Amino acid sequence: MLVSEHDYQRTLEYSFSALGMLKRAKIPPYPHFYELCYTYASGINEQLNERLNMLLGKDNALSMENVLQVYREFFDNPSDLESQLTNVSQEMSYKIDAVNRAMDEAIDTAEGYSGSLEGAANKLNTKLDEAALQKLAAKLLAETKQMQEANQNLEEKLKVSKQDISSLKRDLDTARRETMLDALTKIPNRKSFDQRLKQEFEAYEQHGKQFSLLMMDIDHFKAFNDNYGHQTGDQVLRLVAMTLKSNIKGRDHAARYGGEEFAAILPDTDIRGARQIADKIRKAVHAKELLKRSTNQKLGRITISIGAAQVHRDESIHELIERADECLYTAKREGRNRVVCETDEVFRNSKVA
């Protein structure tokens, strides 16, 4: 490819500028650091330049911390959500520090200007000739102009920082929400379930707000994986999750509990209401016929077993989960594709046995 003399000279200047930035900061010109500085010198990424300008010191030189921070943000793009949370939190901290530095500089400038005004006032209390007055006026005018420029600079920095912090806050909120979702099924995960169950339990202990718990397990799930492969197994999990989500309403909270097991927290719901919701979910799942996407082959219907329990006074979260689990296991033993509640005779008999 032929390169014009103009393009050659321009890219050469970018290269010298990038190397100069690294040299002044005594940062080794590793390829990833050079890439960052070259991108900055070329100005092709306006957002990167704005971010880096906010982090540059008074001597307009980089620090290793700044280089690593900006490189991770614009070039590394971690997929791990915990890493994203860490990076966004760090960015938020850096932004707040930048605002604090800008405020400190403005305070220093204001204090200097205040001192100049006080000095001028003292001089005006003495007899000054016309030349001295003109000199004093010129000095105050220059310092007033400097103060105005400092205020304008502060306003611009605060405006940029406000926009960046708002953007970072949105990123942080998004990342936090995603850490509470199961990656495969896109419904709340075990962490989200544990937090919500704790909240409902505390509300019950403090205010007597009743709730019930459903524990659900896909019947013969291992057979789907063994016979049709893990991709089909994943399809089954997604289908059940979608059906579960579409059949609970309001403040009800469905989650993937682990493996092929799901759970649902039902606020303001007693055991009778829990049975009705559980049977609605069971029937909705059974109504779905699984198809192999590649061939449209019918693979049969999915069924789930469900155990339902209502919170009791003076019990722990673990005891509630354990009771709902025991109801689930009873449903499995009784033939699967059914709902068993803690009030059912078949469950009470199993406890006696």
Which pLDDT score is estimated for 13? 83
Q: What is the mean pLDDT of residues 5-17?
A: 77
How does the average pLDDT of the chain come out, rounded? 81
63-115 pLDDT, tens per residue? Answer: 777 777 777 677 655 445 556 556 666 666 666 777 777 777 777 777 777 77
pLDDT at residue 176 is higher than 70: no
Q: What is the mean pLDDT of residues 320-341?
A: 95
Which pLDDT score is estimated for 79? 47
Q: Is 34 helix (H, G, I), strand (E, B) or coil?
A: helix
pLDDT at residue 249 is higher than 50: yes
260 is annotated as an active-site residue: yes
State the catalytic residue, choosing from 260, 315, 334, 345.
Answer: 260
Q: CA torsion, points 208, 211, 212, 214, in degrees to nearest 10?
A: -140
Which pLDDT score is estimated for 58? 57
Q: Which residue has the higher pLDDT, 43 or 280?
A: 280
49-66 pLDDT, tens per residue? Answer: 877 887 776 566 677 777
* Phi, psi at 108, each rounded to 5°: -60, -45
What is the rounded distance in angstroms from the CA atom of residue 265 to the CA atom of residue 60?
55
What is the rounded distance in angstroms from the CA atom of residue 52 to the CA atom of residue 126?
50
Which pLDDT score is estimated for 78? 45
pLDDT at residue 133 is higher than 80: no
Q: What is the mean pLDDT of residues 3-13?
A: 69
**What residue ranges define each of the domains in the chain, with the CATH number in brackets?**
5-177 (no CATH), 190-352 (3.30.70.270)
- Could you give the count of Cα atoms lying within 13 Å of 298 in the half-sphere of its Cβ? 4
Min mean pLDDT across 188-197, 263-272, 275-284 is at 188-197
DSSP strand pairing (253-258 vs 261-267): antiparallel
Q: Which residue has the higher pLDDT, 8 or 276?
A: 276
Crossing angle of the two packed helices 46-55 and 130-179, in degrees rounded to 10? 120
Min mean pLDDT across 171-180, 222-231, 236-245, 339-348 is at 171-180
* Structural contact between residues 84 and 46, judged by C-beta atoms closer than 8 angstroms: no
pLDDT at residue 11 is higher than 50: yes
